[in-house]
Amino acid sequence: MPASAPPVRRHCAPAADGVPFKALVAERMRQSPTFVGSLAAHALALLLLWLLLPAPARATPRHHVEVAAPDAAPIATPEPERLPEVAPEPTDEPVVVDANTPIVDAAPADDAGSNDAAVDAHPAGDLQHASGAIGLGPTAGGPYKGRSGRKGQGRTGEGIGAQPSIDAALRWLRAHQDDDGRWDCDGFAKHDDPALPACGGPGNGVHDVGVTGLALLAFLGDGSTMRSGPYRDQVKKAVLWLRAQQRDDGLFGAPVAHDYVYDHAIAAYAMCEAYGLSGYRLLREPAQKGLDHLAAHRNPYGVWRYQPRDGDGDTSITGWCVMALAAGKHFGLAVDANALQTTAVWLDTVTDASGRHGYTAAGQRSSRKPGDHGSRFPADRTEAMTAVGLFARFFLGQDPAKTPAMPKAADLLLQQPPAWDEAGGRVDHYAWYHASYALFQMGGKRWTAWQRQLEPTLLKQQHRDPKDGNRFGSWDPDCAWGEDGGRVYSTAILALCLQANYRYSRLLH
């Protein structure tokens, strides 16, 4: 018989066999020291793990409220009211618009119907200038606000009515524009009526970019843009053609002529105006690239000449470059201010005490081509460089009251008024264009005297016989540079002459 077990204090219920549970566990632990060590190690590891792990982030309570709107019928937003588009006038009828005939322009609209989907409109807020001009784009303030006269008020200026003559010239240009938008300098006669005598007067085909730019400037000057106006389609096609001619380096056209930079500068000038006045944001890049090419072409610390950075400069091409830069600056494009400053220095350098502005040196007359060009058009019978320089000075911000050379230059221009004197070699459309704009800026008696001579001269020489249908509205290129630009050049630049009293506002008034 086994010995009886010692008495045990019962703090818990006995096991089933009568042995206390704690005693049983203690016995098992004495028999299993390895188990105890393992249990302690695991406990310690769990404690360390709990201490090392970061406490879970407390979730931030979020309040979410849903409001169910009552069922309602959708509200349709009405389309903005658009004014009717003005259709171009027929090209085969005599001019019937007189100085008092109002021309209603269409409201600015998206480029519906464009043959180029890449051209898009930008909101007016994309550009910084406001416009009060009817039919012009959102930036037609400043020097461009004068074109609000397109409705009829002030179109005849301070002289006799010239608007019918301008309309006739624009109709001729419209009739002789290629379908792709170009004006063909030497091949424009393909648009003539074969039953009538041909126009004649071709120019040099290397200048298609330049004469297309001039024609585009004439349509823009009359108030049409890519958005509105009676010549909206002509403007749009010309812009798209010029854009298609632009190379990666920004040059419009190709450098095939020794003086190709003239064509580029005129095209860049026209593209900047088309961009700003029409308000198409995708024209910003070609306009800016055109200006960038001029910046790359200019001589360092100097002005422009035929070849890029050749260390030379001349007043003639520099004048066109200034106008392109001035247009670009007004419409918010990037322009190197140093170029305008060096141009001002250049003009002072080439201006003599009489106010005459020289071609490449002080008081030097205009250039002439080799051969008999100089004898047919003597350089001393024109003040072309003085006209270019005086016009440029206004857009450089100079004031005649503070710059003595400017009134002197204006008086020199009046000594060579417009006269269609072929025998005397005095026909110089280039000089008349720049002088007209320079003297309009001068204003007063000087402008009145010039306009009274200019308008009768041009109106008398313009082809206005309806029976002469192919030439109707144009001018013969019997001028100093007519062999280069031809009939398109003469018609475009003389139409621009007649627009001088409203194409730009007076900058100092």
Give the pLDDT confidence of 379-416 residue by residue, as tens digits: 999 999 999 999 999 999 999 999 999 999 999 999 99
DSSP string, 374-388: HHHS-GGG--HHHHH
Count of domains forming the chain? 1
Do the domain assignments include residue 297?
yes
Do the domain assignments include residue 97?
no
Rounded Cα gap, residues 233 and 226, in angstroms: 7
Average pLDDT score, the chain: 79
Which amino acid, 95?
V
Residue 203 in tokens:
């120019």
Name, in order, each residue with C-beta under 8 angstroms of 462's C-beta and a sequence gap of 6 or more: 165, 168, 169, 473, 474, 475, 494
Rounded Cα gap, residues 223 and 324, in angstroms: 18
Q: Is the pLDDT of residue 75 over 80?
A: no
CATH number (domain holding residue 348): 1.50.10.20
Do the domain assignments include residue 105?
no
Cβ contact 22:11 at 8 Å: yes
Rounded Cα gap, residues 360 and 380, in angstroms: 15
Which amino acid, 289?
K
| Cβ count within 10 A of residue 261 | 25
Indicate if the alpha-carbon torsion angle 437, 442, 446, 451 is positive or negative.
positive
Q: Is the pLDDT of residue 279 over 80?
A: yes
Do the domain assignments include residue 69?
no
Return phi, psi of residue 401, to 5°: -70, -20
pLDDT band at 38 (very low <50, low <70, confident <90, very high): low
Range of 498's domain?
124-503
Residue 110 in tokens:
């998206």
Query: Is 94 in a helix, a strand, or coil?
Result: coil
Do the domain assignments include residue 477?
yes
Instruction: Write the pLDDT tens digit of every residue in 115-130.
Output: 343 334 333 333 333 3
Do the domain assignments include residue 3?
no
Return phi, psi of residue 14, to 5°: -70, 160
Name, in order, each residue with C-beta under 8 angstroms of 117's C-beta and a sequence gap of 6 or more: none
Do the domain assignments include residue 472?
yes
Residue 292 in tokens:
């960038």
Rounded Cα gap, residues 1 and 422, in angstroms: 159
Instruction: Write the pLDDT tens digit of every residue in 234-258.
Output: 999 999 999 999 999 999 999 999 9
pLDDT band at 37 (very low <50, low <70, confident <90, very high): low
Q: What is the pTM of this model?
A: 0.74
Rounded Cα gap, residues 123 and 325, in angstroms: 24
Do the domain assignments include residue 227?
yes
Residue 86 in tokens:
């003005």
Rounded Cα gap, residues 342 and 328, in angstroms: 18
Rounded Cα gap, residues 147 and 143, in angstroms: 9
Rounded Cα gap, residues 154 and 328, in angstroms: 27
Q: Is the pLDDT of residue 357 over 70?
A: yes
